[in-house]
Amino acid sequence: MILIDVTMTIYELGETAIVSQIIEHLNIEFEDCAILDLTDTEYLVATTDMFHRKTDFPEGIAAWQIGWMCVAGTLSDIAAMGAHPCGVLVSMGLPDLEPAFVDSMIDGMNACASECGTRIIGGDTDSHQELTISGTALGRISKGRILRRKGANIGDLVCVTGYLGTAGAGMKALAHGIEDSTAIKKLFEPIPRIKEGTRLAESGAVTSMMDNSDGLALSLYQLAEINRCGFVIWADSLPVLPEIDTDLAVYAGGDFELLFTVAPERLSDAEDACELTVIGEVTMEGVFLEAGGIKEIEQRGYRSFPC
């Protein structure tokens, strides 16, 4: 049982403690998506994500990119289960915006959904002081193929898709007045790894998986807690673009890549499914970085609640 200090506010407790309390109170699984029986052979997976103008949309982002980002972030959870998306619902709390701005957002949402093989199927609108968008995505997955956060075994290899720290580098570039870069495009227009997720599920090689939207470090700690294991990450193996340092690769959020574990003897099957990088291995305990020595990775990254 999780004991919560009732004298503290939710911001003082932090997002992880609050989410853990809710999960325990409702007696549900800590997964990227809710999992429901659809047929005897298939699950329906469902996820929802909320985005706010002040906390989620950096300065300089266009309306089209806002729409894309919201759908991408929502569909990333579907990808993490290895599921095929079958629709996205979008609810928008709108301040007094120009109609063209809203139209452009919708175009961005639709473009992202289409890129991922699905579409916007409905939603809701209301007035709001701050632009607030909530995306809900549905997906289907064979019961024998679904990928969960739990399942990692000691000795498994830790893998990721894509590059790490790129979105964080985009935020850093914006802070320095740079307006056009590969990193900023990654930040504004993340790619949900739907194709990679479904292919990894079909490979049968993956033992656990989630997306790393909150950053590699926090994601590793979540997997470690669920699987009662540890991790050693090899700094020299982290996939990064030029000039992105290890701290960004480990702690920055917003990349929306897949983080997963693979049985060593099945690595070739995972590599046949998609491009990936092996970055470490599952151990008994602790979350460590090997970089000319061993040091503990801090439990920090992107947080929804202010610290």
The CATH number of the domain holding residue 92 is 3.30.1330.10
287 shares a domain with 188: yes
In a domain, 171, yes or no: yes
Q: What is the pLDDT of residue 22?
A: 63
219 shares a domain with 200: yes
94 shares a domain with 7: no
Per-residue pLDDT of the chain (307 residues; tens, 9 = 90+): 444 555 667 565 556 666 666 666 665 566 779 999 999 999 999 999 999 999 999 989 999 999 999 999 999 999 999 999 999 999 999 999 999 999 999 999 999 999 999 999 999 999 999 999 999 999 999 999 999 999 999 999 999 999 999 999 999 999 988 877 889 999 999 999 999 999 999 999 999 999 999 999 999 999 999 999 999 999 999 999 988 999 999 999 999 999 999 999 999 999 999 999 999 999 999 999 999 899 999 998 765 444 4
Residue 76, SS3 per DSSP: helix
In a domain, 263, yes or no: yes
The C-alpha atoms of residue 116 and residue 106 are separated, in whole angstroms, by: 16
Number of Cβ within 10 Å of residue 38's Cβ equals 14
201 shares a domain with 134: no
Q: What is the pLDDT of residue 178?
A: 84
Q: How far is CA 153 from CA 144, 173, 184, 226, 271, in A?
A: 19, 38, 36, 12, 19
Q: What is the pLDDT of residue 2?
A: 46
290 shares a domain with 220: yes
28: left (phi over 0), alpha (psi -120 to 50) or beta: beta
279 shares a domain with 199: yes
237 shares a domain with 197: yes
Across the chain, the runs of DSSP E, i.e. the strands, are 34-37, 42-52, 84-94, 120-127, 132-142, 157-160, 206-211, 230-234, 258-262, 277-283, 287-290, 294-296
Beta carbons within 8 Å of 13's beta carbon, 6+ residues apart: 4, 5
Number of folded domains that form the chain: 3
101 shares a domain with 1: no
CB 160 within 8 A of CB 240: no
Beta carbons within 8 Å of 148's beta carbon, 6+ residues apart: 29, 31, 81, 208, 209
Residue 95 domain boundaries: 31-142
Q: What is the pLDDT of residue 196?
A: 98
- Nearest 5°: phi and psi at 117? 80, 25
41 shares a domain with 20: no
214 shares a domain with 129: no
290 shares a domain with 180: yes
The C-alpha atoms of residue 59 and residue 98 are separated, in whole angstroms, by: 18
Q: What is the pLDDT of residue 152?
A: 98
DSSP class of 121: E
In a domain, 307, yes or no: no
